[in-house]
Amino acid sequence: MPPIRVLVVDDSVVVRRMITEALATDPGLEVVGIAANGRIALQKVTQVNPDVVTLDIEMPELDGVATVRELRKTHPRLPIIMCSALTVAGAEATLDALAAGANDYVTKPTQSASVADGIARLAADLVPRIRALCHAEAAPVARVVPPPDAARVVARPGAARSPFHRAPEVLCLASSTGGPNALADVFAGFTEALPVPVVLVQHMPPVFTKSLADRLGRTGPHPFHEATDGQALEPGNVYVAPGGRHMEVERSGTRLVARLHDGPPENSCRPAADVLFRSVAKTFGGASVACVLTGMGQDGMRGCGAVVEAGGYVIAQDEPTSVVWGMPGAVVQAGLAHAVRPLPAIADAVRERFAMRPLQRAFAP
């Protein structure tokens, strides 16, 4: 296989060097050009024909968000990974870039980090994202055997649906690469709030999850919150796991509450969907509905196994509409998905489980 060709765009000479050295740790990647701002990057793209672009947010002449918009006019399918500072302003600008068409993002090393540590972290963050977006993941997703009880209730796509006798009492969601835009699309598909609490994990660092919750709260009828420890979970509200902390749900007397903790990462993630989904299955049993959207890796797969084993229902996003079909693909390949739907039909699939009136749409799911 020829190497994946990368264009590195950043106004900092130091950051360009760190990214270049980070990518050099993988012989399957080749830096074919560098640019100090977005205007130069637009010229370089036509000259070096990269397979993927890493793009700084804050640059002179043409910043990262404006560069994404220009690139999408001429290169609608070129993978773009934003490189952002871990700040509120950086989070807002990154979400703007994702909405404009960027595929994913990484955060830059902090100024307190050594150069060696910064290069190592960039390599750990950037390399798998580049490979996933270029459909060149280093290893296939592991297949797991569904739990013993799952064989009785799981219906593969196209098969007869299994009966579910308990009214659902919760919806839990998971997403990663491509998730912010996918979540916005899903929640924009509701004209009325769900009659149950909604809890979700989007793989993001601290600061970013608060910005994401604020932004998603403007997409539809659901109020969004970055969850806090001990917070009561109310019907019709959505609670986002904060970056850097696991979230679980439990009953406390007559209340349902969120519990946050700093347990070890799972699937190299904290928050991890598997942690949340297991707690949902334990707390709600067969009244659980889980939904796994676009994302890299396989976080959420084992949690979906717990949901299915408890008698709950699982929805997965399909491959054609996923930015990366890692997380939902793992669920489908493990035989744990009762419904596999394109992104525009996810809200309808959720609404169907909660016996809500479907929207009139111009397409057939």
All residues at 6 or more sequence positions from 332 whose CB lies less than 8 Å from its CB, including other chains: 157, 316, 340
Per 3-state DSSP, the chain is made up of helix, strand and coil in percentages (nearest 5) of 35, 20, 45
Nearest to 353 by CA among 231, 195, 213, 204: 195
In whole angstroms, what is the distance from residue 354 CA to residue 73 CA? 40
Q: Are 53 and 78 in contact (CB under 8 A)?
A: yes
8 A C-beta contact, residue 249 and residue 258: yes
Q: Are 338 and 315 in contact (CB under 8 A)?
A: yes
Q: How far apart are CA 357 and CA 352, in angstroms?
A: 8
Task: List active site positions.
Answer: 176, 203, 299
Sort 363 into a burial class: Cβ within 10 Å, 0-12 / 13-18 / 19+.
exposed
Rounded to 5 degrees, φ, ψ at 163 are: -75, 140
- Give the other-Cβ count within 10 Å of 169's Cβ: 20
Would you call 81 helix, strand, or coil by DSSP? Answer: strand
How far does Cα 44 stand from its chain's mean position? 30
CA atoms within 13 A of residue 194's CA, in its CB half-sphere: 31
Measure the CA–CA gap between 102 and 60, rounded to whole angstroms: 19
Cβ burial of 358 (10 Å; 0-12, 13-18, 19+) is exposed
Contact between 240 and 227 (Cβ < 8 Å): yes
